[in-house]
């Protein structure tokens, strides 16, 4: 028996069984890049609620920056990027938070939440490079990567824990206690777990397009990753999330090639008056 060939089949069957028995709403769909996805473990409203709860948990654990200028700078880039999201997203107010954290990282969550570490501002050296970061993270939300992760993660016990978390969010202390007993919301939801390489590559595609549509130079995405690689080499430790990201050299080559095809979109955005002045 060819075990290598049977493993993906068994994995797909396991997902199908979980979806059929516990989560009748699970479905197979296709991302904007043509990739097959298993989604629907929870409803969009529930996913947004989980994202909001995870964001609140993070804000309770990390220190927020008191630098109003830096926060306004990040907010300006966030607003420009999310203004290009398809309806109904533009009607949603996205909340952002700037955390005091030297690690060069950022994240976006369902429910319109974006977190940025101050350390990323040492690597993203201009507004276009920060837009590449924000666009990438928003791309994860837009392409339903959190939905994918939580759907794949939800076995029988996982489903019970997620339901407990949702109960805690909706019904107060008694429900929250059940959620706490079930485990950390961040761990259960899988919101901050590293994406797969496919998801990371997909977020690159979507994020680079978003930044061009918002009037940020898409060529700066490749420069950002050059800075990121250089920064990770200074202390001899690559960021933990780089282990799940595409090969850096291949990634930069793909970003450079894609940037050329996005220049007409960038030029159109600039001609239409989308000229962000965040820095």
Residues designated catalytic: 137
Beta strand pairing call for 106-109 and 36-39: unpaired
Burial class for 22, CB neighbours closer than 10 Å (0-12, 13-18, 19+): middle
| Beta-carbon contacts of residue 213 (< 8 Å; ≥ 6 apart) | 84, 265, 269, 274
C-alpha 23/C-alpha 25 separation (Å) is 5
Alpha-helical regions (H) of the chain: 3-21, 44-61, 68-82, 127-142, 145-153, 156-171, 173-182, 185-189, 197-213, 220-234, 248-271
Neighbouring-strand partners of residue 37: 29
- Residue 219 has phi, psi (to 5 degrees) of -70, -20
187 in Cβ contact with 114 (< 8 Å): no
């Amino acid at each position: 028996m060819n075990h290598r060939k049977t493993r993906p089949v068994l994995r797909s069957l396991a997902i199908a069984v979980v979806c059929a028995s516990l989560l009748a709403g699970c479905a197979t769909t296709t991302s904007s890049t043509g990739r097959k996805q298993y989604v629907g473990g929870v409803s969009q409203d529930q996913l947004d609620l989980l994202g909001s709860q995870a964001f609140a948990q993070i804000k309770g654990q990390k220190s927020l920056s008191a630098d109003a200028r830096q926060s306004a700078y990040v907010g300006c880039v966030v607003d420009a990027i999310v203004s290009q999201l398809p309806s109904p997203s533009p009607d949603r107010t996205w909340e952002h938070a700037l955390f005091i954290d030297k690690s060069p990282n950022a994240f976006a969550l369902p429910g319109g939440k974006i977190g940025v570490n101050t350390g990323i501002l040492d690597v993203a050296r201009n507004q276009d490079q920060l837009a590449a970061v924000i666009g990438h993270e928003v791309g994860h939300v837009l392409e339903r990567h959190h939905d994918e992760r939580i759907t794949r993660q939800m076995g029988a016990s996982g489903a019970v824990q997620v339901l407990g978390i949702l109960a805690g969010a909706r019904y107060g202390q008694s429900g929250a206690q059940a959620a706490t007993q079930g485990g950390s919301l961040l761990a259960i939801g899988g919101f901050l777990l590293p994406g797969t390489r496919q998801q990371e590559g997909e977020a690159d595609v979507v994020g680079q397009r978003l930044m061009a549509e918002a009037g940020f130079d898409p060529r700066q995405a490749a420069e950002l990753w050059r800075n990121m690689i250089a920064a990770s080499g200074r202390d001899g430790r690559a960021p933990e999330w780089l282990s799940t990201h595409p090969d850096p050299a291949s990634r930069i080559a793909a970003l450079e090639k894609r940037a050329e095809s996005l220049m007409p979109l960038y030029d159109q955005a600039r001609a239409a008056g989308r000229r962000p002045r965040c820095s």
